Structure 1
Amino acid sequence: MFEGVEFANPNFFWLLLLLPVAGLWYYLKYQKDRATLRMPSTSAFGKQGILPRLKPALFIMRLLALAAIITALARPQTSDVSSRTKTTSGIDIVMAIDVSSSMLARDLKPNRLAALKEVAAEFIKERPNDRIGLVAYAGESYTKTPITTDKSIVLNALGEITYGQLNDGTAIGMGLATAVNRLKESKAKSKVIILLTDGVNNSGFIEPQTAADLAVEFGIKTYTIGLGTNGNALSPVAYNPDGSFRYGMRQVEIDEPLLKSIASLTGGQYFRATDNKKLEAIYDEINKLETTEIEEFKYYQYEEKFRALVLLAGILLLLEWVLRHTVFRSFI
């Protein structure tokens, strides 16, 4: 009966403590009111019947009615809760992805670029309230997807990113500048770039420091990620006659001082991903650092349940009154 029921005024239940006190009072009064007559035998009076023994039932009915009234005063009710969320301040994010030939190195499985795309896809899915865009860069850079709330477009564009779409090289400055250009007109309260590279700046006509200064001017925070194991990695070193890559061990070179400088200057952080798990952990960390404010509205619809208890109390009192003045009239 009371499954899922809450009480608006539970303090009224303290009144239930009066019921055992009233019961004790009635018991003592009942014992005192009973006449006592000592006789050697009661056979001449015959049997008294069961009605006198049922007289306390009238008082019990009063107590039950009182208990029902007290429970009704506590206002039992059920509630139906509906909620609606509203994004109060979203985040605009541009992911700048290095697609140079070194991103095909196999120190991450199956290679750096494939591992990045898998982790980045999960990151995108976990940002339903933000606008996200993609920039790809190697020896030059271009906007793969402008910032948009349509995550299916972003995920499809991410899946299409491959090596060979741009001249080889690592133009960190141009990749960062293109990302800044995508965000400079944004009206979002928070603007973020996630810049990933596995090399050093060796191409392009925009210096990374210049691009970082532009990010600062437009209030854009930049998280930088250096991708690659420590030491040597199995990387493309030459072309085979059929056009495929020939792999060999090469020293992993990442300009960490530059990436740290960009992150520090723009208010972001620098991370180093040496394997798949660390890369995943880095995106999880960025996901926690850049949170979207959500305002939630809850609507409560209450249904009062006290009416049945009041009706029950009324029936008990009426029944008690009728029995008192009919069946038990001769004994009261």
Structure 2
Amino acid sequence: MFKNIEFANPEFFWLLLLLPVALLWYYFKHKDQVASLKISSIKGFNVNSLISKMRPVLFALRLLALAAIIMALARPQTEDISTRTKTTKGIDIVMAIDVSSSMLARDLKPNRLSALKKVAGEFIEKRPNDRIGLVGYAGESYTKTPITSDKSIVLRALREITYGELEDGTAIGMGLATSVNRLKESKAISKVIILLTDGVNNSGFIEPNTAANLAIEFGIKTYTIGLGTNGNALSPIAYNPDGTFRYGMRQVEIDEKLLKEIATLTGGKYFRATNNEKLEEIYDEINKLEKTEIEEFKYYKYEEKFRPLILLAGALLLIEWALRNSIFKSFI
């Protein structure tokens, strides 16, 4: 009966302390309530009849009725909460991912690209109210997924990103320009590009500064991430006869000056990820910097449950009155 029940006026439960007081009063006073008759002998009287022994039932019914009334005064009720959310500031995000051969370097575990895909997937799952798109770039660039609110599509596309889809190289300007092209028609209040690379711009026919100016023109903020440890990293250096990569130590070269410039010009921020943990921290920080404002409306519906208790108390008092004036009438 009282599953998921809350009480609007629980202070009335203090009145339950009256019940043990009433029990003590009845224990010491109930004999005085019965008329007595002094006679020389009770022989022939059935003084231990079942009905006379059940007389305390009347008082028990009154106590139960009082307890039910106290519980009714405490106003038991169920609460039904319905929630409606409204996104007041939606953000459109394009993640531009470097898929050149150097992203297979093993300074991050198991390699840079796999580590990025894991962290980027967690970032996407934390943005349920935003639209997200993916752009891949190496020697050229392409749109892997246009901006969409369907996170399952974005996550599946992210898992499918791999090296070898494009000619090798690092066309930072092309990757940024394609990302801008995905966002330029967006009506979102905030438009963001997260551009990640582990190298220097060495391909493509669009200069990074030109792409950055396009981002400024369309009001698009760009966060840039330089990925790779400091010093040397175990990276692909040649092909084996079977077509697999041969690995060797290579100097990590990241054009941090360019990445910082792009971020500064567009109102974003530059980050450097030298290991898996740092990469996770960077995406967490971007997630905190780009907050989507959500307005939540809660509707409360209360259903009062005191009426059955009042009916129960009335029924108990009615039974007590009926017994008092029928079965127990000659004994009281």
Please give the TM-score of this superposition, normalised by the length of structure 2: 0.81
Instruction: Determine the C-alpha separation between the residues in 1 that align with 2:286 and 2:6.
Output: 41
Offset at residue 6 of structure 1 (A): 1.7
1:224 aligns with 224
Offset at residue 233 of structure 1 (A): 1.2
1:215 aligns with 215
AA at the equivalent of 2:169: G
Offset at residue 94 of structure 1 (A): 0.4
Offset at residue 197 of structure 1 (A): 0.5
2:249 aligns with 249
Alignment of 1:39-54 (within 5 A): 48-49=47-48, 54=54
Alignment of 1:130-149 (within 5 A): 130-149=130-149
Alignment of 1:1-332 (within 5 A): 1-24=1-24, 30=30, 48-49=47-48, 54-239=54-239, 245-300=245-300, 302-332=302-332
AA at the equivalent of 1:112: R
* Cα distance change of structure 1 residues 25 and 242 upon mapping to structure 2, 3 Å threshold: closer
Instruction: Determine the C-alpha separation between the residues in 1 that align with 2:73 and 2:15.
Output: 10
Of stretches 131-140 and 9-18 in structure 1, the one that deviates more from structure 2 is 9-18
* Cα distance change of structure 1 residues 13 and 112 upon mapping to structure 2, 3 Å threshold: same
Instruction: Determine the C-alpha separation between the residues in 2 that align with 1:30 and 1:165.
Output: 96
Instruction: Determine the C-alpha separation between the residues in 2 that align with 1:33 and 1:162.
Output: 94
Instruction: Determine the C-alpha separation between the residues in 1 that align with 2:176 and 2:302.
Output: 55
Gaps of 5+ in 1: none
* Cα distance change of structure 1 residues 151 and 67 upon mapping to structure 2, 3 Å threshold: closer
* Cα distance change of structure 1 residues 330 and 131 upon mapping to structure 2, 3 Å threshold: same
AA at the equivalent of 2:327: V
AA at the equivalent of 1:3: K
Q: Deviations over 1:166-213 (max 9, x none)?
A: 443323233223212221221112221111000123344544344334
Identity of aligned residues (%): 78
Q: Deviations over 1:238-267 (max 9, x none)?
A: 455676544321110112233234334434
Offset at residue 96 of structure 1 (A): 0.8
AA at the equivalent of 2:257: P
Offset at residue 299 of structure 1 (A): 5.0
Instruction: Determine the C-alpha separation between the residues in 1 that align with 2:116 and 2:102.
Output: 13
AA at the equivalent of 1:173: G
Instruction: Determine the C-alpha separation between the residues in 2 that align with 1:164 and 1:262.
Output: 27
Q: Deviations over 1:273-312 (max 9, x none)?
A: 2233433443344334434344445555554433332232
Offset at residue 47 of structure 1 (A): 5.9
Of stretches 2-11 and 206-215 in structure 1, the one that deviates more from structure 2 is 206-215
Instruction: Determine the C-alpha separation between the residues in 1 that align with 2:206 and 2:90.
Output: 30
Offset at residue 133 of structure 1 (A): 1.3
Instruction: Determine the C-alpha separation between the residues in 2 that align with 1:152 and 1:322.
Output: 69
Gaps of 5+ in 2: none
AA at the equivalent of 1:189: I
Instruction: Determine the C-alpha separation between the residues in 2 that align with 1:291 and 1:217.
Output: 23
Please give the TM-score of this superposition, normalised by the length of structure 1: 0.81
Instruction: Determine the C-alpha separation between the residues in 1 that align with 2:54 and 2:160.
Output: 88
Instruction: Determine the C-alpha separation between the residues in 2 that align with 1:326 and 1:292.
Output: 73
* Cα distance change of structure 1 residues 157 and 18 upon mapping to structure 2, 3 Å threshold: closer
Question: Aligned residue pairs: how many?
Answer: 331
* Cα distance change of structure 1 residues 109 and 44 upon mapping to structure 2, 3 Å threshold: closer
AA at the equivalent of 1:237: I
Offset at residue 68 of structure 1 (A): 1.0
